[in-house]
Chain A
Amino acid sequence: MSTAVPVAAWPIAEEQKGLWYLQQAHPQLGAYNLLFSCTVEKTGEAWPSTEFVQRMINDYPLLRTAFVSQPGGAVEQQVVAHLRPRVVHHDARDLTDDSLRERARQDSRAPLDLNEPGAWRIHLYRRTPDCYLLVVVMHHIAFDFWSMGLLLKDAMTRWQGQPSTLPAEQANGYEQHARQPLDPQRHQQLTRYWTASLLDAPALHSLPLDHPRPGTQAFQGASWSFRLDPATSAGIQALGRSLHATPYMVMLAIYTGFLGYWSSSSDVVVSTPVANRTARRLRNTLGQFVNTLCLRTHPAPDVTFATLVGDIKTTVTEAIRHQDLPFYRLVEALAPKRDSSYQAIAQLGFSWEHLPVLEDFAAFYGQEASSVGPTAGNVRLSPFPVPQQEGQLDLLLEMGGQTQGGYDATLKYNPHLFDLATVRQMAEHLAAMAARMVANPALPLAELAQANAHQQARWQALGRGQPLILGDRTLLHFIGQHARARANSPAVADAHHTYGYQQLWQRSQQWAQALHSRGVVKGARVGFKLERCADLVPLIIGIWRLGACYVPLDPHFPAERLAYIAQDAQLTLVVTEPELDDFPSAIPRLLTQEVGETGPIALPEPAQADDTAYILYTSGSTGQPKGVEVSHLALLNFMLALHDELAFDSQTRLLAVTTPSFDISLLELFLPLVAGGLVQVADFASTRDGARLAGLIEQHAINTLQATPATWQMLLEQTAPGALETLTALCGGDALPQALADRLLARTAAVWNLYGPTETTIWSSLARLQCGVPVSLGKPIANTEFIVLDEQQRLVPPGMLGELWIGGAGLAKGYLHRPELTRERFCVLPRLGTQRWYRTGDQVRWNSRGELEHHGRLDFQVKLRGYRIELEEVQARLLALHGVQQAVAAVVDHELGSALVAYLVTEAGAEPAIGWLKSQLKAQLPAYMVPTEFVFLARLPLTPNNKVDRQRLPAPGPRATRVDITAPRDDLEGQLLEIFQRTLRAEALCIHDDFFDMGGHSLLAVDIISQANRTLGTSLSVADLLGTPTVAGLGDRVRSGTANASGTLITLRPGHGRPVWLFHPIGGNVLSYRELGRHLSGNRPVIAVQSPGLENPEAVEVTVEAMATRYVEDIRQVQPEGPYLVGGWCFGGAIAYEVASQLQAMGQGLEGVFLIDTRAPIAQNVPSDADDSTLLSWFARDLATPHGVQWDLDPSLLRSRASEDAFAYVLTQAKQRGLLGEHADDEQLARYFETYLANGIALQLYAPPATTLPLLLVLARDEPADYGPLLGWQHLALGPLTAVPVAGDHNTVMYRPQVAAVAELINHHFIRTVELEPQP
């Protein structure tokens, strides 16, 4: 920090406060550095003097300014008398233009220390002795671009040896501006306008992201520049003229129309900067005046563009009329829930940089460097733009300049969220939309968002699989070929039998003959209910050889389901074994033992391409399964496509593990046969046992395995590290978590991710996974087409989310006996021709690599408290945590609302603590995506197809036992942990567990600290526990010597500005305010005053007046001047009343006084028998409250005891009731009670006069004790008294969930409303 004595100082202006706060919160922030850059070339003999720079510094105090925080939270702009320019020299002789630009971009982002005078610096990059790149960097807190323009003009004038034309008086008028407070009435009016305008606006935009949002905003950015063509640019101007709107308004409408389309949202908030120099006298004033306005727009699909322009015009006009509410104040007023992962209120921005004052330098802020520029003496300046101010928002569109008739545009984006490829797509689509919008303003946005035919054709081409000629063949053709060519090669085997290819064919003949003799003809439907065995394959082939289709009936499925399927499918016959035969007698059956050798019999015509190959039943939304009919053509297409992709050959040895009732079983049973390989059929027991599967893999030299993620998980857990290294892993049927994919990649030879609904035949796309590349669905297989459509069934551009529709040869015929459902899901899309498409219900998008990404089921997509939650993303983060084996995230509704719940299966021997899990997730995810509840399961419930069965996830219940996963790291932590465990009576605690989250409360807090200090010789205080309520945190404090945050003032929440002051209740400590402190909105500090008697019995006061006098002294150390906002719960309210009275008597201003269920200190409210026994009975009651127990101890019972016994009696009773631990320190509790007594006496003796203080009285609606509707305050309140009831009794109002309502009242009354500015 500078030691120069300031020659002038004034408080920072409202427009500077937000920037100050941001820079303090993020000291490395460079996103708000403004730049001017240019090439400086000497054209004459010598360089001209640069003394003018020093003269400018001398003339303009703002160039000599530091920003220094003061006690109490105020910040001053301090001007020093002298300052030399800070110039950083660089050698850039070997750098190309691009390299230099990037270097300058990085250097200019280095943060400026606002505590040091001169929030600016100069970089000089020497390219040649006569040529430099000059970059001037200024912090936005000190200057805006208008000021930059004034300074540049002045600099050019001076550099040419001319006197300055910038009047010093006007230039240096910022102090006057900063000192001028906003008129309170105007402030109120502005606040009302903006809060109404943004009421219930989305807190976060819905643009699809390329990467998960990090838990903390990094303020890093990148840029992509493009240009609208001259015709579109001219169209914008012309349309503006016709609609009486400015080009800014028209372009803003285009942008919001684009954003609405791209994010599938019709409620979009965009921030935009305004110069905010509404007074003429400010036109030549240096300083930071820019304000940010948040414009709420409604680009609904059915709104015409002309209407949108009109709406935008109205919005902008009104916003300009209300532009003088500083953004910082807007945030305070709206008090949005803060999340460190994104900017409050608006994360998307639009900027129209067209300042007249910068007209002469417009080229320097263009997109391209140039060698043409102005001269100053024998120096020529030419444009060399360096990207600047990147990272302020998620996405910002900057426009305003024009080049050769076209509007220049730059999209500044957050590279942690968006890839460059996506941003380029956005730019392309935006430009295309702009052209359509200005050409057809009368069309609705939905139509205008549609790409032209050429673009649509390109997008559609992305999803087109390779063509493959199928002819009229079926699988039978290929199997029959191998039966001739590879007669003796093994084809299908199980534990007992192996069929060679010829045997396989012959066996299928036997089956066909047996079936035929039982009446199976072409088109018949044959069911089979058999245990897994090799004979399944020839049976199926036999069915096909008759031209019939099969319907699998898994013997391990519920009988009811099988009976339904048999009836619905109208089976001609069922093939089964005697032990499994429980079908109705009316259904003909063929038992396996009845199939044997027969003589040659001519079979009818085998299956043709259009015939049905199988009917598989899938779950239906009505609860009854529905049968999907798939043709031989579709099946053959699948087989041949995957044969090519997976390169199966005669060496392929695949272990079949999937139930035949799941269509992916067909890959296992037949794809190797297409290639001439081997199918090894695993028995049922092995399919459920990873170790047995591993045994089979080894025994039969299996090199290919297909399984769901759940089965792969099981296999990885139960096999030795090298057991799978020769395996090609095929994974599908459920979303493949990245963590599992990474493990598979590490342990197998190759990993493929397969995707496809049953309705499009087994799999429709596949991706060969690579290390370091995120899991995707890959690309469609041959003769298959993927398209991504919006809700209006229009093609969406790559990068945008939409629903996947699948077309091509793989489409099933439809749903058996469900024509309406078939028509609904298998549609013709007239815009795309006459082919059928299947609507998947999956949300996807094309990524920058041309692969399809899955973004959840549309019917599983969840919104929680207005935020769109990607459950897969939460799951992925959970899976990446140490000790977590499987994870599922779900939103569960219960009586207190919806909650995001994590279901976990942990690794053997490792059960991570909930506190640790949360802390890890909070570091990676936005707060709204961190589960609030955790359920530990032994295993995840699975469907018969081995997919996670979300319907059977249990409701969250009491927490499972936690085993300490983070052991104490040293003896100190070990002993602290023991104390925690003993005091909380919780064995399974971790050093990261939050004391209060684990059930700790005020008395236990006092107890823990006392034990720690006594046992360990530490000097911890309750304030330390409040600040770091974990073993790890307390340990750190002790080690670093920062323990003993003592004194009466306890910061519950740090912040900026005037604190909210809370005063202790009757117990003397302030732990009961912890939840309130969390729920108060805004970023003001919340400081609670605890009784000094807790630490020093001698310091206890026995009158409210004396307490208040002391506390006033204490709080004025932090906040020397008002207005003050004070309040308290119970007795704390009485203290607040007295504090406020004393402050008022001193002439200090007051924002207000809030009283949380505080009885008025009047004689009528003092019980006649309010003696020490009464106070002791209150003490007993308060011991029980944190445990959720009501303990009403009759004071007369205590009076009947000898006084020295009464307190001991209470302690004994409390221990017996489990309210205190056996180890509780009685002496320490006696001291605690002494403070309690003192406060109780003070309350009884306190009889203040009535005052005109403005009072907010929060009434606990469910409190049974009756002190009247206003608790007696009507006798003391001569000024405004607002009384509002909230749910809860006297104690529960301070805990969740009731405390939220209390906080909201305070927020509404004081924290969001106009502050009473002291009159000058």
Chain B
Amino acid sequence: MIRAQYSRLFNLSRSTLFDYLRNPLNDRHWQSSCAQVELLDGSIEPGSRYAIVFSFLGRRMNFECQITALEPPARYAFKVLQGPFLYEGEYGLEAVPEGTRLSWQFDVEPGRFFGILPVSLLKKVLISQVEKDLSRLATLLQDDAALSKEWIHE
């Protein structure tokens, strides 16, 4: 099993960040490998299911996932119910003076899905992807915040 972890500081409030992260439908906006998401139960709450498709390292992967924890604004977790391999993930959000520190943890058992790609490399790749994706998320949410502020001003 691979455990990958990463954390990043966001210049945003926990609630803003949490509200965005908790919605699987947003994954396709900030996760570069996410091709498609669909809420299977029509809701976003603990136990809700969603289908998510990733395209990564030349492979297309379809998963059925479930939200396992939803503790606003501190924790959001999910796991795979069905798919080519199993994974579980969790976001922890901590308020800090500069904003919010987001911690990401991801446990995955890829088996031979990624072929000859060694585990060590796969872990590095996952972390590097998350790093990029969260950077994009930060940009996305900062832009949104700026727009929101302008909107408020108007």
Identify the A interface with B (CB < 8 A): 1097-1098, 1100-1103, 1106, 1167-1174, 1176, 1199, 1202-1204, 1206-1207, 1233-1234, 1237-1238, 1241, 1244-1245
A559 to B130, CA, bound (A): 90
Identify the B interface with A (CB < 8 A): 57-59, 112, 114-118, 120-121, 124-125, 128-129, 132
**Nearest A residue to B125 by beta-carbon distance?**
A1102
* Chain A proximity of B138: nearest CB distance (Å): 16
With contacts A1102-B125, A1245-B128, A1245-B129 taken as known, whether A1172 is within 8 angstroms of B112 at the C-beta atoms is: no
B121 touches A1171 (CB 8 A): no
Partner of A1234, one of B112, B114, B118: B118
Partner of B121, one of A1100, A1106, A1170, A1244: A1100
A1206 touches B116 (CB 8 A): yes
Partner of B128, one of A1103, A1169, A1170, A1176: A1103
Q: A-B contact count, CB below 8 Å?
A: 61
* Chain B proximity of A333: nearest CB distance (Å): 44
A599 to B57, CA, bound (A): 114
Q: Chain A contacts of B120 at CB under 8 A?
A: 1097-1098
Can you sample 20 A-B contacts with CB below 8 Å?
Answer: A1098-B120, A1102-B125, A1106-B128, A1167-B58, A1170-B58, A1171-B57, A1171-B115, A1172-B57, A1172-B115, A1172-B116, A1206-B115, A1206-B116, A1234-B118, A1237-B117, A1237-B118, A1241-B117, A1245-B125, A1245-B128, A1245-B129, A1245-B132
* Chain B proximity of A1215: nearest CB distance (Å): 18
With contacts A1097-B120, A1241-B57, A1244-B57 taken as known, whether A1172 is within 8 angstroms of B114 at the C-beta atoms is: yes
B121 touches A1241 (CB 8 A): yes
A938 to B64, CA, bound (A): 79
A1171 touches B125 (CB 8 A): no
A33 to B115, CA, bound (A): 69
**Nearest A residue to B33 by beta-carbon distance?**
A1245
* Chain A proximity of B100: nearest CB distance (Å): 24
Q: Chain A contacts of B118 at CB under 8 A?
A: 1234, 1237
Partner of B59, one of A1101, A1102, A1171, A1233: A1171
Partner of A1168, one of B58, B112, B125, B129: B58
With contacts A1203-B112, A1204-B112, A1244-B58 taken as known, whether A1172 is within 8 angstroms of B124 at the C-beta atoms is: no
* Chain A proximity of B28: nearest CB distance (Å): 16
B121 touches A1173 (CB 8 A): no
A1238 touches B121 (CB 8 A): yes
Q: Chain A contacts of B57 at CB under 8 A?
A: 1170-1172, 1241, 1244
With contacts A1173-B115, A1203-B115 taken as known, whether A1237 is within 8 angstroms of B58 at the C-beta atoms is: no
Q: Chain A contacts of B59 at CB under 8 A?
A: 1171
* Chain B proximity of A269: nearest CB distance (Å): 57
**Nearest A residue to B128 by beta-carbon distance?**
A1103
* Chain A proximity of B132: nearest CB distance (Å): 8
Q: Chain A contacts of B58 at CB under 8 A?
A: 1167-1172, 1174, 1244
Q: Chain B contacts of A1173 at CB under 8 A?
A: 115-116
Q: Chain B contacts of A1241 at CB under 8 A?
A: 57, 117, 121, 125
A1172 touches B117 (CB 8 A): yes
Q: Chain A contacts of B116 at CB under 8 A?
A: 1172-1173, 1176, 1203-1204, 1206-1207, 1233, 1237
A970 to B142, CA, bound (A): 69
A1100 to B132, CA, bound (A): 18
A1168 to B58, CA, bound (A): 6
Q: Chain B contacts of A1171 at CB under 8 A?
A: 57-59, 114-115
B112 touches A1202 (CB 8 A): yes
Closest 10 CB pairs of A and B: A1171-B58, A1203-B115, A1172-B115, A1170-B58, A1102-B124, A1103-B128, A1203-B112, A1203-B116, A1102-B125, A1172-B116
* Besides A1102-B128, A1167-B58, A1244-B57, 13 other A-B contacts (C-beta < 8 A): A1100-B121, A1102-B125, A1168-B58, A1171-B58, A1173-B115, A1174-B58, A1176-B116, A1234-B118, A1237-B118, A1237-B121, A1241-B57, A1241-B121, A1241-B125
* Chain A proximity of B42: nearest CB distance (Å): 32
Q: Chain B contacts of A1238 at CB under 8 A?
A: 121, 124
Q: Chain A contacts of B117 at CB under 8 A?
A: 1172, 1237, 1241
* Chain A proximity of B110: nearest CB distance (Å): 11
A1176 to B59, CA, bound (A): 15
A1102 touches B112 (CB 8 A): no
* Chain A proximity of B45: nearest CB distance (Å): 34
A1101 to B129, CA, bound (A): 12
A1100 to B116, CA, bound (A): 16
Q: Chain B contacts of A1106 at CB under 8 A?
A: 128
A741 to B37, CA, bound (A): 92
| Most chain A CB within a 10 A radius of its CB, from B57, B116, B128 | B116
Q: Chain B contacts of A1100 at CB under 8 A?
A: 121, 124
A1203 to B116, CA, bound (A): 5
A1272 to B58, CA, bound (A): 20
**Nearest B residue to A1231 by beta-carbon distance?**
B118
* Chain A proximity of B11: nearest CB distance (Å): 20
Q: Chain B contacts of A1203 at CB under 8 A?
A: 112, 115-116
**Nearest A residue to B126 by beta-carbon distance?**
A1102
Q: Chain B contacts of A1103 at CB under 8 A?
A: 128, 132
Q: Chain B contacts of A1098 at CB under 8 A?
A: 120
A1170 to B59, CA, bound (A): 8
Q: Chain B contacts of A1206 at CB under 8 A?
A: 115-116
Q: Chain A contacts of B124 at CB under 8 A?
A: 1100-1102, 1238
**Nearest B residue to A1169 by beta-carbon distance?**
B58
| Most chain A CB within a 10 A radius of its CB, from B115, B118, B124, B128 | B115
* Chain B proximity of A145: nearest CB distance (Å): 63
A1169 to B59, CA, bound (A): 7
A1168 to B114, CA, bound (A): 15
**Nearest A residue to B131 by beta-carbon distance?**
A1103
* Chain A proximity of B134: nearest CB distance (Å): 14
A1176 to B58, CA, bound (A): 13
**Nearest A residue to B60 by beta-carbon distance?**
A1168
* Chain A proximity of B128: nearest CB distance (Å): 5
A1169 to B57, CA, bound (A): 8
* Chain B proximity of A334: nearest CB distance (Å): 46
* Chain B proximity of A1248: nearest CB distance (Å): 12
**Nearest B residue to A1167 by beta-carbon distance?**
B58
A1097 to B116, CA, bound (A): 15
Q: Chain A contacts of B132 at CB under 8 A?
A: 1103, 1245
A1202 to B115, CA, bound (A): 8
A1238 to B124, CA, bound (A): 9
A1207 to B116, CA, bound (A): 8
Q: Chain A contacts of B128 at CB under 8 A?
A: 1102-1103, 1106, 1245
* Chain A proximity of B6: nearest CB distance (Å): 13
A72 to B118, CA, bound (A): 38
Q: Chain A contacts of B115 at CB under 8 A?
A: 1171-1173, 1199, 1203, 1206
* Chain B proximity of A1006: nearest CB distance (Å): 18
Q: Chain B contacts of A1174 at CB under 8 A?
A: 58
* Chain A proximity of B81: nearest CB distance (Å): 25
A1234 to B58, CA, bound (A): 17
* Chain B proximity of A1099: nearest CB distance (Å): 11
A1173 to B116, CA, bound (A): 8
**Nearest A residue to B113 by beta-carbon distance?**
A1203
Q: Chain B contacts of A1202 at CB under 8 A?
A: 112
* Chain B proximity of A504: nearest CB distance (Å): 95
* Chain B proximity of A454: nearest CB distance (Å): 89
Q: Chain B contacts of A1233 at CB under 8 A?
A: 116
| Most chain B CB within a 10 A radius of its CB, from A1170, A1233, A1237 | A1237
* Chain A proximity of B8: nearest CB distance (Å): 15
* Chain A proximity of B30: nearest CB distance (Å): 15
* Chain A proximity of B140: nearest CB distance (Å): 16
Q: Chain B contacts of A1170 at CB under 8 A?
A: 57-58
* Chain B proximity of A1201: nearest CB distance (Å): 9
| Most chain B CB within a 10 A radius of its CB, from A1097, A1170, A1172 | A1172
